[in-house]
Amino acid sequence: MRLEELIKTNSAIVENELDKYTNTSDGYGLTEIMRYSLLSGGKRIRPFIAIESYKLFAKDGADIKKVLPFACALEMIHTYSLIHDDMPCMDNDDYRRGRLTSHKVYGEAKALLAGDALLTYAFDVAASNTLVSPKSVVLAVRALSEYAGFSGMAGGQMIDLDSAHNVNSYESLKEMHSLKTGALIKCATLLGYYASTDEPDKSVEKALETFANDVGIAFQIRDDILDRIADTGVLGKPVGSDDKNGKTTSLSYLTVEEAQKEVDKFTGEAISVMTKLYETYSASEDRTLADFAKYLAERNK
């Protein structure tokens, strides 16, 4: 299957699962608000990476049902972080993925609560994975909470809030993005692995984390470039908003050409790490994650 078809296929599967998980009249109207953001058609990058990481390591004909709860949990955590980041006290964004943000539609209190409930539900969904061992579930829950928490994604957001003090160089900016974006991508690679085994190998975990960190940084810099040069219609959000908001991005330190060179450098490193992993797991002829790293580096939206 060509990569773009696979992205569509995986995305449709994840979409369907996310719909099923939240299709309930429980929640006193809260699930409707959770669904508004969760089912608004994101790229589903983290679930894709989790699923393909699982397929790389699975020895059992890759029954992806084993990784789907983890993949959905990742997307729920990603979505909660977007809802909270968009709130007036954070980035104060009115639009996300071409639609009004949650707090613009439902008000701040309910948006806050929907974010809380999505974060909470992510752990329920991950912990209810009965197709893997309890030991695998515990590994997944620990990774989700560590990479989403104060030493991961939330820590990155904290740096961002204090960015006037903390982000004063290209290096510190990369550190922030390594947490804000990279942490959950790392978690995605690990969760795929944990769905395949409950006795993970430290060296594999380390390789996956390096791959994911490179992909995360390249992804973020490509995002900065697209915000400057993309077509608004293609991007689905206003172009030039970073400049308008005086936001510090990689383009505060680099030209567009230099930035794309960085994207290519980190992507090259990611592909090289993944190639070594393929060699170790030589049974696998699957080059999807390396191809996906390249795809993200070259994307136009």
Binding site for a second copy (CB under 8 A): 26-31, 34, 80, 84, 87, 89-90, 107-110, 112-113, 115-117, 119-124, 127-128, 133-135, 137-138, 141-142, 144-146, 148-151, 154-155, 157-159, 161-162, 166
Cβ of residue 300: shortest distance to a second copy, in angstroms?
32
For residues 155 and 236, which CB has a smaller minimum distance to a second copy in the complex?
Answer: 155
44 Cβ contact list (under 8 Å, min separation 6): 10, 11, 14, 15, 75
Cβ of residue 41: shortest distance to a second copy, in angstroms?
22
Cβ of residue 286: shortest distance to a second copy, in angstroms?
29
For residues 110 and 287, which CB has a smaller minimum distance to a second copy in the complex?
Answer: 110
Which helix (H) or strand (E) segment holds residue 144: the answer is: helix 134-148
96 beta partners: 99
* Contact indicator for 67, 143 with CB cutoff of 8 Å: no
Q: Collapsing DSSP states into helix, strand and coil, what is residue 99?
A: strand
Q: Exposed e or buried b for every residue in 54-89, given b needs 16+ CB within 10 A?
A: bbbbbeeebebebbbbbbbbbbbbbbbbbbbbbbee
Cβ of residue 285: shortest distance to a second copy, in angstroms?
33
For residues 34 and 263, which CB has a smaller minimum distance to a second copy in the complex?
Answer: 34
Which tokens belong to 134? Answer: 């309890």
Neighbours of 285 (CB within 10 A): 6
Neighbours of 27 (CB within 10 A): 16
* Residue reference for tokens 């982000």: 167
Length of the chain: 301
For residues 15 and 160, which CB has a smaller minimum distance to a second copy in the complex?
Answer: 160
For residues 97 and 135, which CB has a smaller minimum distance to a second copy in the complex?
Answer: 135
For residues 144 and 204, which CB has a smaller minimum distance to a second copy in the complex?
Answer: 144
Cβ of residue 7: shortest distance to a second copy, in angstroms?
28
For residues 148 and 230, which CB has a smaller minimum distance to a second copy in the complex?
Answer: 148
**CA–CA separation, 25 and 270 (whole Å):** 43
Cβ of residue 145: shortest distance to a second copy, in angstroms?
4
**CA–CA separation, 65 and 290 (whole Å):** 23
**CA–CA separation, 143 and 70 (whole Å):** 11
Cβ of residue 75: shortest distance to a second copy, in angstroms?
16
Which tokens belong to 29? Answer: 């109207």
For residues 120 and 168, which CB has a smaller minimum distance to a second copy in the complex?
Answer: 120
Cβ of residue 289: shortest distance to a second copy, in angstroms?
26
